[in-house]
Structure 1
Amino acid sequence: MKFKSILLGMALAFSPVFGFADNNIKMLVGTYTDAGSQGLYSFSFDQSTGKASGITSLNVDNPSYFTFSKDGRNIYAVSEKNNATAVLNCIGYDPVKGTFAFKNSQLTHGGDPCYVDTDGKIALTANYSAGTISVFPILKNGTLDKSLLQLGSVKGGPDRSRQNTPHAHCAIFAPDGYILTTDFSGDRILCFSYNKRDKKLEDHGIAAHVSPGSGPRHLVFSPNGKYAYLMSELSCNVTVYTYKDGKLKELQTIAADNANARGGADIHVSPDGMFVYASTRLSGDGITIFRVNNNGTLTRIGAQFTGTHPRNFAITPNGKYLLVACRDDNSVQVYLRDKFTGLLKDTNQDIILSHPVCVKFYPE
């Protein structure tokens, strides 16, 4: 039983947000909207106690992934739809009040956009079903211009049930400005750069090959930018790379899921760079915990079972809590994180929401 759940429903009364102590930070949750959810939710989260207080919500279709603008005043959120109505939305955000203001949206021209990142000049979406990357110039007021172009991934992975058509799952900016994208069906990580003058992406080839049938999904960097960690969905392996000038050199591949459930999901590095966490789904759902060694490689030190389908998770800026969006349990679970051992403990302070799938904290 969850003794301190926060019930959020259609008739939710949100608490005031003024006068919070410094330990309180803003937190946003994106949801699938097929079961009564409004879309985007704003909270105040107390980093000292692990308690969340609801602020407000905004009606947005399937904001399954979002990111903050560089100044924190806007949110870029996908509307993950498998048809021609799929868009990237620009939503204003007040970091003091925690409130939203819709600004504009632009078509992705690719079905099921599932990831977005920005460098402040352009925004990128990875469109899963289309297998493409869309590029949106950002205007001076932070809103989105029309998508300029798309780049396609390839099909041909050995898993004919999952890799028989092109899929793209992640498009991120590396610390040095290069763009890295995961080619899910082609088992590759691709590298690009953006030519602002010509308004196009320049192809820099393959940053890394991934073992056939892996289905590369999410890529993250260490705080110092020297290492990158890839979570593959089909193999449920984490691959460790060194990174330099748009190229990745493999150091290690290590299993994140003993159940072989083929549902690898999200991956994040602790703020101090000492631990890596990866979520797995479809069987034995949970978070696998790795310690980072001096050379960037990983040692698996434990696992924490979670609610059903932990698609996404986030670590608080101070590193004290790890929050897991458990889509099929309709909850965001709050775990206390031991900074020395890396292990997790359920605080039983779940946030109850319909189909939560993305959690992010306001950038400090």
Structure 2
Amino acid sequence: MKHFRRIYAGTYSRPILFGTGEVLEGKGRGIYRLLLDLDTGELRHEGEPVEADNPSYLCLSPDGNFLYSVNELKEYQGQPGGGVSAYRIRREDGSLDFLGSRPTLGTDPCHVSVNSGGTHVFVSNFMSGSVCVYPVMADGSLAPHSQLIQHQGSSVDPARQKGPHAHSLILSPDERFAFVPDLGTDHLAAYRTDFERGLLSPSADFCALPGSGPRFCEFHRNGRFCYLINELSSTISLLYYDGNGGFTLKQTVDTVPQGCKTGNICADLHLTPDSRFLYGSNRGHDSLSVYRVDPDAGTLSWLDNIPCGGRTPRNFAVDPAGRYLIVANQDSDNILTFHIDPSDGSLTRAWELACPTPVCVKPVRS
């Protein structure tokens, strides 16, 4: 009997101007449904995509009933800024029913996340450097925003850090705090959460290394170690978390060999479900970095850099069962699967699927 896992893929469907100054012509049609064969790693399309404007980042509600997508634009439905859209997932086939959208009150929203209770959705607006909070209605749709937070400041890179660039929002393991890596200010902005009122209140920020450009972070399963990927410096930092919103820098490692840093910028980072191995994606070097995680100290030991099988590996995902890594290669119009060896974390190429301008892949947990 075959075993499959559904994956949703977000794409660029319209032209997009990046912070690097590059203009990309989006070739996608919207949100694609894929099926991953858990026995072989084969990936295939399922049905027709849902038409959408630059649904470049996706997240799934904890119960698996809803999908939320950013609309990464500078103008959405005739209004300045981007959008965030909600969809109901049909259980029988995974198809999506559009529930509506809201303005993000900022330009180029690049990340969306949801709390474990499924009560609030958070959107990070990259170009305008802001974060927007939305209560979730009973039917899964989004209520008008409850808060908009505008970051301030700059940092040392004159080309990329003239102003704030909020890149993602990650909740602490107990969800008492929210953390926003800001590429433009070199801060990991910290906020206390209030889900009753749908508000975030400022806490003490963590200052990353100048010019590093923090982009995304993920917590170890023990809740004490946090791994921060830095786009501009091509590094990953290990932070010790104190459980009360504070971090201490413990280690910083390169994602590519020193001689390869020119022309490379990092994108994504994920741990295996058992937190024994960690992976990072490199755009320019076009590789996946592989590390072993020390179980006691959380420190990283480099194991390998392997070709991603395309160009510009953007977002990637580790299958919830820990058997496969799925990577979206934005500029080569393909998505690849790699088998993960549970003994040493090594990656073996399994399958390649054509998909136009893929940016994000989100496996369904159940």
TM over 0.5: yes
Contact 1:26/1:95, CA 8 A, preserved across alignment: no
Q: In structure 2, what is the equivalent of residue 30 of structure 1? A: 10
Contact 1:322/1:335, CA 8 A, preserved across alignment: yes
Distance 2:110 2:88 in 1: 20
Q: In structure 1, what is the equivalent of residue 108 of structure 2? A: 112
Q: 1:52 aligns with which of 43, 64, 72?
A: 43
Confirm whether residue 223 of structure 1 aligns to residue 221 of structure 2: yes
Q: In structure 1, what is the equivalent of residue 69 of structure 2? A: 77
Confirm whether residue 325 of structure 1 aligns to residue 324 of structure 2: no
Distance 2:81 2:228 in 1: 30
Distance 1:114 1:343 in 2: 30
**What is the DSSP-based 3-state SS (H/G/I as helix, E as strand, rest coil) of the residue aligned with 1:318?**
coil
% same residue: 30
Distance 2:44 2:192 in 1: 40
Q: In structure 1, what is the equivalent of residue 363 of structure 2? A: 361
Q: In structure 2, what is the equivalent of residue 7 of structure 1? A: none
Confirm whether residue 314 of structure 1 aligns to residue 317 of structure 2: yes
Structure 2 unaligned spans of 5+: 15-25
Confirm whether residue 102 of structure 1 aligns to residue 111 of structure 2: no
Q: In structure 2, what is the equivalent of residue 9 of structure 1? A: none
**What is the DSSP-based 3-state SS (H/G/I as helix, E as strand, rest coil) of the residue aligned with 2:167?**
strand
TM-superposed deviation, 1:52: 2.1
Contact 1:169/1:183, CA 8 A, preserved across alignment: yes
Q: Which structure 2 residues correspond to residues 1-364 of structure 1 after superposition, within 5 A? A: 21=2, 23-34=3-14, 35-56=26-47, 57-83=49-75, 84-119=80-115, 120-177=118-175, 178-206=177-205, 208-243=206-241, 244-258=243-257, 259-260=260-261, 261-282=263-284, 284-294=285-295, 295-306=297-308, 307-347=310-350, 349-364=351-366
Contact 2:154/2:162, CA 8 A, preserved across alignment: yes
Which digits, 9 at most, give the CA deviation of each residue in 1:270-300, with x for residues without a partner? Answer: 1111000000112x21100000012111000
TM-superposed deviation, 1:71: 1.1
Distance 2:81 2:298 in 1: 42
Distance 1:36 1:264 in 2: 23
Q: How many residues align?
A: 341
Distance 2:69 2:34 in 1: 17
TM-superposed deviation, 1:139: 1.0
Contact 1:278/1:288, CA 8 A, preserved across alignment: yes
TM-superposed deviation, 1:154: 2.6
Which digits, 9 at most, give the CA deviation of each residue in 1:37-83, with x for residues without a partner? Answer: 21101122111111123223101111111100121100010000023
**What is the DSSP-based 3-state SS (H/G/I as helix, E as strand, rest coil) of the residue aligned with 1:328?**
helix
Q: Report the TM-score when normalising by structure 2.
A: 0.90
Contact 2:227/2:236, CA 8 A, preserved across alignment: yes
258-267 vs 146-155, greater mean Cα deviation: 146-155
The letter of the residue matching 2:53 is D
The letter of the residue matching 1:252 is Q
TM-superposed deviation, 1:153: 2.2
Judged with a 3 Å threshold, the aligned counterparts in structure 2 of structure 1 residues 199 and 28 are, in CA distance, closer, same or farther, namely closer
Q: Report the TM-score when normalising by structure 1.
A: 0.90
Judged with a 3 Å threshold, the aligned counterparts in structure 2 of structure 1 residues 302 and 196 are, in CA distance, closer, same or farther, namely closer
Distance 1:239 1:176 in 2: 21
Distance 2:221 2:145 in 1: 30
Distance 1:52 1:195 in 2: 40
Distance 1:129 1:314 in 2: 24
TM-superposed deviation, 1:198: 4.3
160-169 vs 43-52, greater mean Cα deviation: 43-52
Contact 1:74/1:142, CA 8 A, preserved across alignment: yes
Distance 1:95 1:343 in 2: 34
Which digits, 9 at most, give the CA deviation of each residue in 1:251-279, with x for residues without a partner? Answer: 11111122113411100001111000000
**What is the DSSP-based 3-state SS (H/G/I as helix, E as strand, rest coil) of the residue aligned with 1:168?**
coil
TM-superposed deviation, 1:237: 0.6
TM-superposed deviation, 1:305: 1.1
Contact 2:133/2:198, CA 8 A, preserved across alignment: no
TM-superposed deviation, 1:197: 4.6
The letter of the residue matching 2:327 is V
Contact 2:287/2:305, CA 8 A, preserved across alignment: yes
